[in-house]
Structures are given as structure tokens and as C-alpha cells.
Chain A
Amino acid sequence: MRISKAVITAAGPGQRNLPLQSLVDQDGVEKSVLRILLEEVLRGGVEEIAIVVAPGDEAAYTRVAGDHAARIRFLLQEEPRGYGHAVWCARDFVGADPFLHLVSDHLAVSRVAKSCAEQLVEVAASEECAVSAVQTTRESLIGAYGVVGGRRLPGRQGLYRVDKVIEKPTPTEAEQQLHVPGLRTGHYLAFFGMHVLTPLVMEQLGRAVETADGSSVSLSGALDELARREQYLAFEVAGWRYDVGARYGLLTAQMALALAGRDRDEVLARLLELLASRELGRQGHV
């Protein structure tokens, strides 16, 4: 299975401005969030990229995309009908091919030399099926994510067969339906915001859009159906995800990038200095 297409969704009402923000990346270069996402995608070996945006956002995105602007194809989500609907807007672009999908309000920072997208694409290509990146998440936090239930693939580190997907489950739902043997008590596998999906997802989304009668459509519902129809795996990528849309999310993402990059020592020194001068100073120690 070769993955040459990527779809980034950026049309959500609270999401539209996030990719336009600037951060200093691991190499110490100032870039927009969008550009960091595009570079992540390109490192995964993708050749064609579509961004699903709200009407009128194309120009701003083109501006911050830097050298990669020419590669982008904008697809419009005319009205905000949910995450699943936004992905479905890329159906013609995707056609009969598998594709990498990222959300625009999360940044991924890898713990290893390969980027998170590279790791994910590699697994999907060798397993020849849909794979979602997941992260072990405490039960107090799962209400913010899509969560999968399933079981570990024997002899495979960090790879799970998905049986069930629920969007923002309650702890009760999670306990009953999403338990994954081998995870610590009260821990579940939540989406990382990065997936390799097969065209069957578009088929499922199409059905959901038809029956939703104008209301919002989720991606998790389609992924739950996918798990019944095809082999669908979850993969614990060696990395962290940062929700740039959360309160102080951008700051946290920036710190994570800096601490994983070239300027780690400098940033640590500045943090220490800040602590020393402000916190300790306030207490009269400095």
C-alpha cells in the first residue's frame, strides 16, 4: 500500500486561525503551525496535499505555507457540519487511494529520528490497512478525544487491532467497551490526530452525511464501522501530541518543540533565568 495523498482539516470554527500562528521549530526556524504540519506530512512521503478550509481562508493559508504553497489544493467545507463531514469534503481528491490525515489543531513531536507521520505511514504500508496513531491517555482526559478499544497484536510492540471506536466516551463507556488488555488500570488509547485511512472511510462518511440530514457528522462513527468491515489498527507512535487550540496549547507546543530541538539548552537556561528572576526574586532570595 502506497500513501501519496494527505488531507488536513482546518475548517472547524475554533480551529481556523490556529494554523496561521507562528512557532520556532526544532531547528530554530520561525514557521507557521501550517508549515510545520506540511513538513510533517511531506516527511511521511506524501506527494499531494489537500487542506479542507472554510470559504475565504485560502489566501491566509497560502501566505503562511511558505515554499509549500504550490503543493496545496484547497477544498471548501461550505458549512460547519462536523469533523467527519470535513474529511468527506476530500472524497474526490482521495478517490480510490489510501491517505494520510492530520488535524490542524494538533502538533506532533517525535521521540525518535523518524517523524510521527513517517512512523505511521510505514506501519500502514507494511500492514496494508487503515491505521490510526494513538496515545495512552488517562481516563480523566478521554472525554476530549476519539478513543479506540481492541487488543494488542501478538508479538508486535505498540500495535493494536481496533474493535471499537467511540468519540469522547464517558469513563463508563470506556470501561465497558474500550478496555485494552495490557494497559494500566484506567488508561485508554486515544487518537493522536493522525491517521492513515482507506477509501472505505469515505464510503462510510458518505452514508453518514446522507442520513445526518444536515446535522453534524463525526469521523469516529465511520471509523467504528471501518473496524467491522476491514482490518483497522491503532499504533502507539513514539511521540507526543500537543493541542494548540487548548488554553496555553500554543505555548506548550512551543516549549515541546524547543526542548526537543537544537535550542534546548538555551531555552532551559532562559526558563531557569525566568524562574530565578521572577519566582525566587519575588520571595526575596535573589
Chain B
Amino acid sequence: MSTNTTMYEHDVLVVGAGGAGLRAAVAAHEAGADVAMVTKLHPVRSHTGAAEGGINAALREGDSWDLHAYDTMKGSDYLGDAAAIETLAKDAPDEVIQIEHWGMPFSREDDGRVSQRPFGGLSFPRTTYAGAETGHHLLHTLYEQVVKRGITVYDEWYVMNVAVTDEQDPRDRSCHGVVAYDVQTGEIAGFKASGGVILATGGPGQAFDHTTNAVSCTGDGQAMAYRAGVPMEDMEFVQFHPTTLPSTGVLISEGVRGEGGILYNKDGERFMFEHGYANNDGELASRDVVARAELTEVNEGRGIEDEYVHLDMRHLGEERILDRLENILHLARDFEGVNGLEEPMPVKPGQHYEMGGIETDEHGETCISGLYAAGECACVSVHGSNRLGGNALPELIVFGKRAGLHAAGQDLGEPTLTTGRTGDEEIGEVDSPVTLGEAGITAGPATDGGERDRAADGGATLADADAIISRAVDREVERVEYLMNKDTGVQHAEIRAKVQKAMTRWVNVFREEEGLKKALEVIREAREEYADVYVADPSKTFNTDLQMTYETRNVIDVAEAITVGALAREEFRGAHWRKEHQERKDDEWLKHTLLDWNEGSPQLYYKPVDLQGEEKEYEPKERSY
């Protein structure tokens, strides 16, 4: 590392400052660690703020954690892991009370208790909420606690890579920190973490062009962990939210349907019932069911303008709408020019949530020691092949906290879930029309090249940690110099747009073999173009051109992982629909997809689902609503 490079040192580093990151930081701080957050956005800008609906927690009489766990397992189409799901369901009530004690402005009942409402796929109305802006309040409440504790926040610092050793077997590797650059000044610095690095970088929605996700949701943490040797788990399971505004992808909360909103097709039919998509639950069926129903209506000519359906909430009355869904009126007005009190709102499915992600155990740890993940970027796996509405926010606080505690050295017991390759794993195959993986990135490879450094005793000493971070810093310095000095080639915007378009066209709600292969071809093209990418903006000051160029590489990696998983999985489960394979095949496919970067030549393998709950075994049943 060059002599003028700064090295910041802390016990625990949290990358990303949305709900999971903030909760992790507070937990690690309370466990006595010196914590710092490194985040490309100021914390209050994080995308948790856009979550609308609520937080599922079994708080009330008549409800119980095992009902929450059962609903979640059923919703996951039996691809969630019991240990993860039961941890979520058991910890959620205390965690909700905890954030209530931190001042979260929950909506209230007449007796002053926290309100709960029905949500899709739930057997009890257990979604606690704060209007239709629950995520905004959760984000600000947690950030306030970070401010209260004086936790260090390096905001507008973009993490370029994790500093991980590169033993042959990823399970022998360890993470010692990150390399980041200060967006405001362009300074590249090393960050050392003696306890652990927690990735809480959110989802990869920007792999698609019609998404509810922020422009910042580029899958950075997933791609960095993946290239460092942590497998990506179940990436093919992408949730398409049934109610997004057609022109922008802005989300209209499931809360609208929870409060009684109705979906109509062009002919004014309440199609969820009238066309038999969900005879019991109608609009409140699981999200994947509703999204497919809407697109089927459109494809069969019953959509409005051949594009969308109507979501009508007028019958709820102005008072109730203003009380519980006021934010929806603003969104419909500002982004679609529609008055939700007077007319139905146009909606269509849009990419919303990535069920898969960085494989972790229930303490948030990956197979690389010292490297953690929590929140949407992680896959514990709670959501399996389909996430229930209201289950993302409790995941942030439950598993964010656990990761924070564990990284700070607290003993959480032996995890039930395994991580990394076991040696006897089932190897998968995918019939890809193109080569997968790295297509020759010049200068500053991540962990996929260069000298292997193996500590003789197998463990890294402190001096090693410095060397590992220095080497990682040097690589990024070299890479940035290369990108900035190059003055011709392809620009990130072109490559990113190409990938996004292909993903929305071919890796959407309905998936066919041929289309998935086409998507892989386009992703390959994008990879080859990326080898020729350059940064046109010559400035070190707030160079978003450089940042987006880095992000685009991550977008490509996650897009490929999603598509590979989707092509390989020849069944229909949860959010993953395949034209050629119209049923769930438990005999063959009751297993998690894992994709190992394998030094740039991705390799698929599978591991069994954990269906053994603490008190009972979950038996896969037909999932009907």
C-alpha cells in the first residue's frame, strides 16, 4: 500500500446503512465493539426508507410464532430453511417492541397499542405498520439510535471490495476489512475490522429496468462476496410485486389490498376470484400468485391498454384512506397523475425483491470467517422461493442484530445451518449457450488472480491483516487509475441498460428456456463490453461516473447468477415460473441453488432444504390461497 493511503481501524465494519446495517451497528455497539458504518449513501437515503407495508410479528393473543413460521414456510413454497424461519418468527415480537421503545411512530389502536393489519399469505393480521411508510420510519428510528450512540459513519464512501485472503478453499479464507473510496474527494482508503465485516448492502433490483428499487440497489455486497468466494444462494427467486405504477415502477403497498383494495381487469371483473386465481384469498393471495394473475389477464387481452390492471380503493372511503394509506395518494398523484380517491390506480408487476443472496447461517456469517451479511443482500434463507409481504423488515432487524452481536464476539451458540461447500455436495449443470463468468477485466483483479498467500499456520495474524488490506487497496488504486486514464471504449450506462432490458424481457415473471438463454447471451456480451469500459469524467471530486462503472460490474454478476439459477431450475416453485416445467417437483428440486464464483468460472451446486423445525418437521404441501 502506498505510504499516503489511510487505514481506518475498527472492531466491526458495517457496509451499507439501511435497516439491517443500522440494526447491526447498534447491536455490535451494545455488545461493546467499536463499530463503524461505511456507506455509499448517507444512512437516511437508504432504500429501506421506501418500504411501505409493515413488519410481521406475532404480538397478539390468538397469534403465535409458530403460526408466523408456518405461514412463512408455506409462502416460501417449502424452500425456506426451518432454522432461519423459526428464528425470525420467534425474535420478531421482541424486536418490534425494541424499535417501539426506540420511538418508532407506529400506527395505533384506540387503546394506544401498536396496530396490525392483514397482509397476503398471513393466517393472522400480524403486520405492524406506520401508515404506508413503515420503512421510512424504521430507517429514521434506527438512524436516530446510531446518532445517539455516536457510532462512526463514513457516509458517501463507496466500498469497492472486501479484503479477503485467498486460500484455495473459500472456507479457509478470512475477511479483514474493506477498500473504499470517498465519493466527495476520490481518496481510496483501507478499513480494517478485527471482528468482522457485515455486508448490508440491500438488493440487486437494478439488474432490471422496471423495478421498485432505488438506483443504488446494484447488488454491490452480493457481487463482492460472490467474487471473494461466498456462494450466491437461490438467486433465481426474484419477487415481482403485483402493484407498481406502470410508468415508473413506484411501489403501491400491499397495505392497499390489506385494507380491502380490489383488483379489476378491463372488463371490470374482479379477476382474482372471477378467473379463479385465488378463490379463497383473492387479492391477498401470495405476491407471486397475484403478479402472475395480472400478467395472465394482460396476456389474454383483458388488461387496460394491454399493459396493466386497476387497483381500486375508493370504496374504503376518504377517512380510512387518509388515516392508513395517505402516502399512497401522494405516490399515485406525483408519479402517475391519478387521484386515488376518485379513480382506480393503474398497476402492473415490477421487480421488487431478491429472495436469494449471500449464503449465511442464522448468525449472519458466511463460509468466509469474519464476513457477514444481513438483510436483502443475504440469504439465510427465510423467504425461500417467495417472500411474504411484511417479512422483509423483520428480517432486517432480527438478522441485522444477530450479525452485529456475533461480529462483536457474542456467543450465539452453534448455528444449525451450514455454509460453503461440504465436499459431498450435489454438483449442478446448466445448459448455457455461452461461457459464464469473468471475461477479462484488466488491472486490479479482486480475489480471482495474483499471488496466493497462505499463512503457514492457516490463520491470519494481525500483520497479515494489514498486508491483505494493503494489497486490496493497491489493486483498487491500480484499477481506478486504469479506468480514469483510458479515454475510449464503452460507458457503463450503455452496458447497464442492455443488461436491464434483457432481464426484464427474458427473466421476468414468466420464464422460458429460450429466453433465459438469450438473456445469458446478452449478459456475456455485456461482460465482454465491460472489459473495455472507461470513465469519461476526469475529476476526483464526486465522480459518479466511476462509482456507476464499479456498480455496473456488480449488476452484471448478479444478473448472471439470477439467470443461471433460473435456467437450471426446471420446475415451477414460488416466484420462479417455467413455461416448460409447470409443476413443483419436490423429488428433484427441494433443494437450494448455490453458485460458486470459482475464480471466475461459476459452478452450480445444490444443498438440501432444512425442513426440520424445533418442534416439528415441515411437510411440503400444495400451496393454494
Please determine whether chains A and B interact with each other in the same assembly: no
Report A's interface with B, CB cutoff 8 A. Answer: none
